[in-house]
């Protein structure tokens, strides 16, 4: 039994020696580059999709986490709030607005977010050790894994918006900075920022905020939930440039000064995001 | 049919495994297992808000195969969710073999690799278990050794990760536990009136910190100490746990340490029993993934200090759930049997149980640094009431054919706190249960259960009735109606009727059910999930071999 005793000792020592006491400071002092000017310097951007609903009283906590991450990384993160599932259903007088979209519902069904319990989200739609759906307390660390990776492609979106006809035309130029030997899809979502309406919030005494700002709300898509295959769908060489032109009529009830187009380039095989770009249409 | 198929399969595995055994005269070992499949066909039912299920039929299926041969054992569990049934976590998606192990054991040593379940003491520090009905399984995957160096000393050690659905949670759990039975150690050959057992464990979780905002501890340590003294009819059990700084999703990323204390004393003699218990929890949610919420990746187990009811209304309408972020509770139970032949006891005697349990919040004084959380006086509870359960239960056998259980319950249930919601407030409910069974003839029993829940709050009052006919030992058929007659919204005064029938024989069971199930919102640790209503036909098959 010599072996078992030494095994024992090893386990004991391992267990005893394993406790970190953090005495403070609790916050990390290092700060990131905060993103850069997209027109000059190409950087990798990270897509954070926050699945939420206006009657989900714990969801404002996720929005706060998202806001912290945006403060840290600036325009290096692109946020989308997907209102989906039971908690996004319109109900009563306060929560009568329906922020659900068919594409948001498609995403919700495909990734299983609302069924897994809200709030939660996706970071670059990647599966981390088998877990795609992530709690908001995990978003910052999963985002940080991407932040310093070199970009594989750049997306430049040039929108033209005619206020009279509310017609939006966009020219999207994708430039590859590295060789990619698999099929990629590109999809163009439309988001509207800072829509004011009620939101349940269990941290408030009133339990809801009648004038909550719903940030980055997913409103629609120019080419469906999953977009289309970019180029030949086989391989993309470094330096290759692909330009696409698309158009869309912005509904009258959207505040066009708050609308942005979010172009997402992702791997067809596993949905993992390669690059993302957000551009306001005005 | 299915069991026969399995037996053939089992036989094939055994034959295949041992055709190469070098002619040794050994038994081929034994294979045991069980098989379960639950399937439901979902109907449309807009009245109760049942969602449309595109697949129409959803199934959960399981098979355990356990092989033992001498000191060696091994096993696997296959699970299939095609697609997972409503009401379960959708991250159970697809099929796989999430549980497999091999183990060797001799007189004083045991080693297991692969998956295993484990418990230190009562589980305040560490407990892995499976509860299939809830879709809960936090099995470890790694290495475990158990060792008994001398009589009365039991040691356990493990290094493992934990199952979360079809993946492993990111943290690595290291645990060590020692239990010493002083009687066995000091007086191995005599029986003493007093038995003293001491125990203690250490658990540490490693998870990398990549958080750009907080400086999180990568190794989080926790320990517990236990004392069990048994003298005659008295049994005293105390367990204390402490956890170092563990900012996590459940506690809102605070760095304060956690504590837990549970003390139970029981006295039992023929016809009389007394239980007194108290507990305190403060920031004691411990998981192998600090970002996990809802159910999943739990290292420890914190049961509610209240009786687990089995009657339908008390068990399902307002069940209490432990608040790991802070609660203080107590429970007292007295059971007494009035003797046979006495005036109240009648010919067969009468059993009476009186139980009272309650849980309040703890006082949280904010600190100057809100990252540290709060400070809390250890022996004081707050005035915020989470739960109260007072009930009296009487078992009475009237004659050789007729017997009954009668129960009265009075509850206070803080729905906002228990379910993590807001705006529902505290619910006061009175409940009564009458359960009568009558033996019609040899092997034929009829049972009628009626229950009522009277409340002015929330969904109002409920009534429930169940009629069950059993032809033992094989057959049963039952009809159940849950009626929300007091719902303030008259459109929702709905009957939830289900019919059941089942057949059991030699470890095989088949059960059919048709009816409606109500919807509910369930929140755990700041994550809320809507478990949808359903209407449909379900079938459940269970077979052990």
Q: Residue B433: is its pLDDT beyond 80?
A: yes
Give the CA angle between residues B128, B130, B134 to the nearest 5°.
Answer: 125
User: Are B307 and B333 in contact, with CB atoms under 8 Å apart?
Assistant: yes
Averaged pLDDT for residues A58-83: 94
Calpha distance A85→A92 (Å, rounded): 16
- Is ipTM strictly over 0.95? no
For residue A91, name the pLDDT band (cuts at 50, 70, 90): confident
Residue A257's φ and ψ, nearest 5 degrees, are -70, -10
> Does the CB of A39 have a partner CB in chain B at under 8 Å?
no
Q: Residue B86: is its pLDDT beyond 60?
A: yes
Cα distance from B47 to chain A (closest Cα, Å)? 16
Number of residues assigned to chain B: 545
**Closest by CA position to B516, among listed B534, B538, B489:** B534
Which of A213-222, B44-53, B171-180 has the lowest average pLDDT? B44-53
Of residues A11 and B329, the one with the higher pLDDT is: B329
**Interchain proximity B213–A11, CB inside 8 Å:** no
Q: Residue B361: is its pLDDT beyond 90?
A: yes
Averaged pLDDT for residues A135-154: 93
DSSP state of B298: B
For residue A41, name the pLDDT band (cuts at 50, 70, 90): confident
> What are the chain A neighbours of B212 within 8 Å (beta carbons)?
28, 32, 69, 72-73, 140-141, 143-144, 147
Rg of chain B, C-alpha, whole Å? 26
Q: Residue A39: is its pLDDT beyond 60?
A: no
For residue B23, name the pLDDT band (cuts at 50, 70, 90): very low
Mutation site for B-interface testing, chosen from A12, A108, A135 by largest number of B Cβ within 10 Å = A135
Which of A194-208, B213-227, B258-272 has the lowest average pLDDT? A194-208
**Interchain proximity B219–A19, CB inside 8 Å:** yes
What pLDDT is attached to residue B7?
53
The distance from CA B526 to its chain's CA centroid, rounded to whole angstroms, is: 20
Helices A139-147 & A59-73, crossing angle to 10 degrees? 30
Averaged pLDDT for residues A129-142: 90
Averaged pLDDT for residues B125-144: 91
Residue B430 contacts by C-beta under 8 Å, 6 or more apart in sequence? B408, B409, B410, B411, B453, B454, B455
Exposure string for A241-266, b = 16+ CB within 10 A, e = fewer: ebebebebebeeebebebbbbbbbbb
pTM of the model: 0.83
Of residues B24 and B198, the one with the higher pLDDT is: B198
User: Are B171 and B287 in contact, with CB atoms under 8 Å apart?
Assistant: yes
B321-334 pLDDT, tens per residue? 889 999 999 999 99
CA distances from A134 to A68, A114, A129, A171 (A): 16, 12, 11, 33
Pure H helices in B28-151? none
B235-257 pLDDT, tens per residue? 999 999 999 999 998 888 899 99
B262-286 pLDDT, tens per residue? 999 999 999 999 999 999 999 999 9
Q: Residue B294: is its pLDDT beyond 80?
A: no
User: Are B286 and B246 in contact, with CB atoms under 8 Å apart?
Assistant: yes
**Is B306 strand, coil or helix?**
coil
Cα distance from B50 to chain A (closest Cα, Å)? 12
Which pair of structure tokens corresponds to residue B88? 């379960």
Q: Residue A13: is its pLDDT beyond 70?
A: no
Calpha distance B287→A18 (Å, rounded): 15
What pLDDT is attached to residue B362?
95
* Strand B327-338 relative to strand B350-362, pairing: antiparallel
Q: Residue B525: is its pLDDT beyond 60?
A: no
* Strand A195-200 relative to strand A120-123, pairing: unpaired
Give the CA angle between residues B245, B249, B254 to the nearest 5°.
Answer: 35
């Amino acid at each position: 039994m010599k072996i078992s005793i030494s095994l024992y000792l090893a386990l004991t020592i391992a267990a005893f020696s394993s406790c970190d006491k953090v005495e403070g400071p609790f916050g990390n002092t290092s700060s990131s580059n905060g993103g850069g000017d997209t027109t000059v310097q190409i950087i990798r951007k990270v897509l954070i999709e926050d699945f939420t609903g206006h009657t989900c009283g714990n969801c404002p906590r996720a929005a706060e986490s998202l806001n912290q991450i945006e403060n840290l990384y600036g325009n290096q993160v692109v946020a989308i709030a997907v209102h989906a599932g039971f908690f996004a259903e319109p109900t009563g007088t306060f929560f009568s607005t329906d922020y659900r979209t068919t594409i948001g519902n498609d995403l919700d069904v495909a990734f299983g977010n609302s069924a897994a319990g809200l709030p939660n989200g996706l970071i670059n739609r990647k599966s981390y050790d088998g877990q795609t759906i992530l709690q908001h307390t995990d978003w910052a660390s999963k985002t940080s894994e991407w932040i310093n990776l070199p970009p594989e492609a750049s997306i430049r979106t040039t929108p033209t918006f005619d206020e009279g006809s509310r017609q939006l035309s966009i020219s999207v130029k994708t430039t590859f900075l590295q060789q990619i030997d698999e099929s990629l899809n590109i999809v163009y979502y439309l988001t509207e920022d800072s829509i004011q309406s009620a939101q349940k919030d269990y941290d408030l005494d009133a339990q809801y905020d009648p004038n909550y700002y719903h940030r980055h709300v997913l409103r629609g898509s120019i080419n469906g939930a999953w977009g289309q295959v970019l180029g030949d769908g086989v391989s993309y060489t470094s330096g290759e440039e692909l330009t696409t032109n698309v158009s869309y009529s912005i509904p009258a009830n959207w505040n066009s000064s708050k609308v942005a187009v979010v172009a997402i380039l992702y791997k067809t095989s596993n949905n993992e995001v390669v690059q993302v770009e957000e551009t306001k249409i005005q | 049919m299915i069991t026969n198929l399995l037996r053939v399969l089992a036989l094939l595995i055994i034959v295949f495994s041992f055709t190469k055994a070098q002619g040794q005269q050994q038994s081929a070992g034994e294979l045991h297992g069980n098989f379960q499949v639950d399937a439901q066909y979902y109907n449309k039912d807009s009245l109760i808000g049942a969602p449309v299920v595109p697949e129409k039929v959803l199934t959960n299926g399981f098979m355990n195969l356990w092989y033992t041969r001498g000191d060696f054992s091994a096993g696997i569990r296959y699970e299939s969710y095609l697609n997972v049934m409503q009401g379960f976590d959708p991250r159970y998606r697809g099929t796989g073999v999430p549980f497999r192990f091999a183990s060797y054991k001799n007189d004083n040593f045991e080693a297991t690799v692969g998956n295993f379940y484990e418990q230190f003491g009562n589980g305040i520090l560490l407990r892995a278990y499976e509860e299939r009905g809830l879709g809960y399984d936090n099995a470890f995957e790694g290495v475990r050794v158990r060792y008994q160096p001398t009589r009365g000393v039991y040691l356990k050690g493990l290094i493992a990760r934990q199952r979360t659905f079809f993946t492993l949670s990111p943290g690595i759990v290291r645990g060590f536990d020692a239990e010493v039975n002083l009687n066995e150690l000091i007086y191995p050959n005599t029986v003493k009136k007093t038995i003293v057992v001491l125990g203690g464990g250490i658990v540490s979780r490693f998870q990398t910190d990549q958080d750009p905002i907080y400086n999180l501890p990568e190794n989080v340590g926790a320990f517990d100490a236990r004392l069990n003294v048994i003298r005659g009819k008295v049994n005293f059990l105390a367990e204390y746990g402490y956890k170092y700084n563990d900012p996590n999703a459940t506690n809102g990323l605070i760095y304060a340490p956690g504590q837990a204390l549970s003390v139970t004393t029981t006295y039992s003699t023929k016809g009389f029993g007394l239980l007194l218990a108290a507990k305190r929890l403060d920031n004691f949610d411990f998981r192998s993934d600090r970002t996990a919420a809802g159910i999943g990746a739990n290292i420890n187990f914190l049961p509610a200090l209240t009786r687990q009811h089995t009657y339908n209304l008390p068990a399902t309408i307002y069940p209490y759930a432990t608040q790991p972020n802070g609660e203080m509770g107590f429970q007292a139970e007295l059971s007494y049997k009035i003797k046979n032949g006495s005036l109240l006891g009648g010919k067969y005697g009468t059993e009476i149980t009186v139980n009272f349990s309650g849980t309040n919040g703890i006082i949280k004084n904010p600190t100057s640094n809100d990252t540290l959380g709060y400070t809390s006086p250890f022996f004081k509870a707050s005035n915020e009431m989470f739960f109260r359960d007072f009930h009296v239960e009487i078992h009475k056998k009237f004659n050789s054919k007729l017997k009954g259980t009668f129960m009265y319950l009075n509850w206070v249930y803080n729905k906002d706190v228990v379910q993590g919601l807001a705006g529902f407030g505290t619910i006061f409910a009175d409940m009564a249960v009458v359960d009568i069974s009558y033996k019609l003839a040899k092997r034929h029993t009829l049972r009628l259960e009626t229950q009522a829940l009277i409340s002015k709050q929330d969904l109002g009052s409920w009534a429930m009735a169940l009629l069950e006919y059993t032809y033992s030992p094989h057959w049963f058929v039952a009809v159940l109606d849950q009626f929300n007659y007091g719902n303030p919204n008259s459109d929702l005064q709905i009957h939830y009727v289900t019919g059941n029938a089942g057949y059991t024989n030699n470890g095989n069971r088949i059960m059919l059910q048709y009816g409606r199930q109500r919807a509910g919102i369930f929140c755990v640790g700041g994550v809320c999930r809507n478990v949808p209503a359903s209407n449909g036909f379900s079938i459940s098959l269970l077979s052990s071999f």
